Amino acid sequence: MSSYSLIIASGNAHKVKEFEQLLDGIHFKVYSASVCGGMPKVDENGGSFVANSQIKAEALRAIAPKEAWVMADDSGLEVDALEGAPGVYSARYAGPDASDQDNVTKLLKALGDLPKEQRTARFRCVLCVIDEFGLVSFYDGSCKGHIAIAPTGGNGFGYDPVFIPDGYDQSFAELGDTVKGKLSHRAKAAEWLKSTLAEL
């Protein structure tokens, strides 16, 4: 690998491909953690997206080639009426083995019949990057919106069917990947990262 290698702390081919597209145009080749033998198992016990992203990045840094950069992301949904929940527990909101539908069902039940103005929420993503010298940096992105009364749309995953971004009347699961790709929390965090790496 060249000196400009960025290894993503994930074995998920879809996520790696997404970051390849989001970071297109900079002098970095994006790789999955499989080039290091796979992503080590980590206990994501941090109390914030920043902490969890750093836990994953440091675990990968420990096994990655010294000349490579590594990047990990942690993201989730924050709902104002629920004091920021589900937050770092977004993927396991309804339990450790919860499905997307389980999590959505619990979320809608928790919000009950609150009116739209009290259902404000945001998707947040934090990227943790560690360079070849061990310097740690963070890049944050968010997408504001509100939680719908009921799920709509067949695309997307997670909370996409109930998240309606500001300025739109449709959920992420209805808007499709093109629109979501421009608005998403991950896209905004990656845009910040890309602008920084482009200066190298």
Residues with catalytic roles: 74
DSSP string for 141-196 = EEEEEEE-SS---SSS-TTGGGEEETT-SS-HHHHHHHHHHHH-HHHHHHHHHHHH
In the chain, the amino acid numbered 160 is: D
Q: Are 167 and 176 in contact (CB under 8 A)?
A: no
**Which of 96, 92, 78, 74 lies closest to 15 in space, CA to CA?**
74
- The residue among 193, 81, 181, 175 whose CA lies nearest residue 127 is 193
